[in-house]
């Protein structure tokens, strides 16, 4: 009950911030439109909607990391967290309260990106239904990163960290270029991180290639568990002062 009340407050804080709309919704749609136009003049199929749209949806989740991290960071710097830490809420209440309102935001991002892709000419497919399920799991990874950044850094630091994070998530995810074009250490490092796996899982499920979903999804889930666990540990430590 307390967690839901806290989640409601966080939902309002996030959705009433115009930056959420600008970065979380409009920017990914703009990129989807621009890159899909470039696809016509490209000699390879990376920017075709069937490859681009699943990757852009994952890219849009990076902003969920920013929203979560900034919210927790601001709550810390304004002492709002101190006020609610002195309430009878538990660590689990806090973490559910921070994570829960981001799921509908992720769902809106998925729906907006997929809807735009359909309008731009992506063929409609039943594979979108399981794809939305897989994307919800992937969104948890980005929520976990947000909890992690918010727990360990201030709101100003989160802004700076996000600049690095969004570059890592896009350059090392295979969204803008095929990772095997560079190969070597770059590709190895990219596949040691979860972002390329998230994009691979998203593309595979939208293509109906369910067997190719499992391995990258295991990577994503494992990273989510580790990052979430570290954030919970840090949060509990902070609660104890």
For another protein, the binding residues (CB under 8 A) are 2, 5-6, 8-9, 12-13, 16-17, 74, 77-80, 82-89, 239-241
Residues 155, 78 contacting (CB under 8 angstroms): no
Count of C-beta atoms within a 10 Å radius of residue 157: 14
In the bound state with another protein, the residue whose beta carbon lies nearer, of 6 and 35, is 6
The minimum distance between CB 1 and another protein, in angstroms, equals 8
For another protein, the closer CB: 133 or 241: 241
- CA angle 6/148/215 to nearest 5° reads 110
Nearer to another protein, 15 or 120 (CB): 15
Q: How far is the CB of 60 from another protein (least distance, A)?
A: 21
d(CA 174, CA 164): 16
Please report how close the Cβ of residue 241 comes to another protein at its closest, in angstroms.
Answer: 3
Report the b/e string of 186-221 with b at 16+ CB within 10 A: ebeebbeebbbbbbbbbbbbbbeeeeebeebbebbb
Q: How far is the CB of 18 from another protein (least distance, A)?
A: 10
Q: Pick the closer one to another protein by CB: 67 or 145.
A: 67
For the bound state, the minimum distance from the C-beta of residue 5 to another protein, rounded and expressed in Å, comes to: 4
* Nearest residue to 174 (alpha-carbon basis) of 187, 192, 161: 187
């Amino acid at each position: 009950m307390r967690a839901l009340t806290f989640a409601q407050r966080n939902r309002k804080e996030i959705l009433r911030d115009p930056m959420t709309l600008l970065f979380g919704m409009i920017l990914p749609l703009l990129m989807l439109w621009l890159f899909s136009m470039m696809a016509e003049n490209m000699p390879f199929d990376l920017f075709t909607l069937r490859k681009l749209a699943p990757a852009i949806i994952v890219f849009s989740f990076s902003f969920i990391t920013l929203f979560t991290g900034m919210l927790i960071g601001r709550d810390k710097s304004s002492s709002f967290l101190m006020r609610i830490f002195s309430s009878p809420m538990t660590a689990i209440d806090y973490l559910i309260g921070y994570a829960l309102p981001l799921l509908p935001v992720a769902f809106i991002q998925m729906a907006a990106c997929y809807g735009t892709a359909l309008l731009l000419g992506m063929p409609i497919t039943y594979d979108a239904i399981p794809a939305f399920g897989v994307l919800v799991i992937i969104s948890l990874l980005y929520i976990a990163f947000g909890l992690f950044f918010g727990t360990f850094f201030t709101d100003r630091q989160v802004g700076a960290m996000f600049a690095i994070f969004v570059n890592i998530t896009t350059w090392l995810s295979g969204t803008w270029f095929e990772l095997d074009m560079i190969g070597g250490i770059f590709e190895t490092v990219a596949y040691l991180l979860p972002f390329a796996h998230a994009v691979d899982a998203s593309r595979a499920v939208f293509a109906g290639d369910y067997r190719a979903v499992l391995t990258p999804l295991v990577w994503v889930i494992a990273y989510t568990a580790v990052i979430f666990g570290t954030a919970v540990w840090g949060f509990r430590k902070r609660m104890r002062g």
